[in-house]
A and B are shown apart, each in its own frame.
Chain A
Amino acid sequence: NAGVTQTPKFQVLKTGQSMTLQCAQDMNHEYMSWYRQDPGMGLRLIHYSVGAGITDQGEVPNGYNVSRSTTEDFPLRLLSAAPSQTSVYFCASSYSLAGGPWQETQYFGPGTRLLVL
């Protein structure tokens, strides 16, 4: 199994440009999440999904869109990039026996480093 994969590894954008960060998992996990990590801030939850077709907002959703058309993929879209979105983005997935997200081990991807000029 490849686990959780993220592309690209690194991206430079200009202010106002759009892009999609890709995330895929091959573990048939129901739950997937996007986080951003800024220096000294820990990880903050952007959006998450509890299954195909179902997404919800996290702590810092503004400026980001998500969709979940398949179990495997959970792309994160930046519609109009801003310098404040310069960060490292992590995608994670997990299953749940008891119902609800984050009830079992989360598996993280390697991250995408984004620089917005």
Chain B
Amino acid sequence: SQQGEEDPQALSIQEGENATMNCSYKTSINNLQWYRQNSGRGLVHLILIRSNEREKHSGRLRVTLDTSKKSSSLLITASRAADTASYFCATVLYSGAGSYQLTFGKGTKLSVIP
């Protein structure tokens, strides 16, 4: 079953507004990662947040992690048309004996209207 699930599936906002996307997961994680994918392109890493961290920032991006609720959120402030893309979360969990598992969610499609 999917470990990370993004919500909403699609989001449409006006330029200048903030965009918030959420990712929920089922089991304890080692870290959680957010990626952006522009149409037809490869993924670009945005932020990695570890299980012992609660918040990280990068420019206009803010990621929070609530391990008690097993959820993370990605906030994009003052959105621009260039932020139009799909956003994915990926969860990494430690499965024991030096092994890790990585699972991507299905993504949130963000449209920023100029």
Q: Is the CB of B33 within 8 A of A106?
A: yes
Q: Is the CB of B41 within 8 A of A103?
A: no
Q: Is the CB of B92 within 8 A of A102?
A: yes
Interface string of A44-70 (1 = CB under 8 A from B): 110000000000101100000000000
**12 pairs, CB–CB < 8 Å, chain A vs chain B:** A35-B104, A42-B106, A43-B88, A43-B90, A59-B103, A90-B42, A102-B102, A103-B92, A104-B48, A106-B33, A106-B43, A106-B45
Interface size on B, residues (CB 8 A): 23
Q: Is the CB of B104 within 8 A of A107?
A: no
Binds B, one of A11-19, A71-79, A108-116: A108-116
Q: Contact partner of A42 among B30, B31, B45, B104, CB < 8 A?
A: B104
Judged by DSSP, the binding face of B is strand
Interface residues of B (CB under 8 A from A): 2, 30-31, 33, 41-45, 48, 88, 90, 92, 94, 98-100, 102-107
B92: chain A residues at CB < 8 Å are 102-103
Size bracket of the A interface: 20 to 34
Min C-beta distance of B106 to chain A, whole Å: 4
Q: Does any Cβ of B come within 8 Å of A84's Cβ? A: no
Complex Cα gap A111–B94 (Å):
27
| Known A102-B33, A103-B31, A105-B48: A90·B102 in contact at CB below 8 Å | no
Q: Does any Cβ of B come within 8 Å of A2's Cβ? A: no
Q: Contact partner of B41 among A100, A101, A110, CB < 8 A?
A: A110
Q: Contact partner of B42 among A44, A59, A111, CB < 8 A?
A: A111
Complex Cα gap A107–B30 (Å):
19
Min C-beta distance of B92 to chain A, whole Å: 5
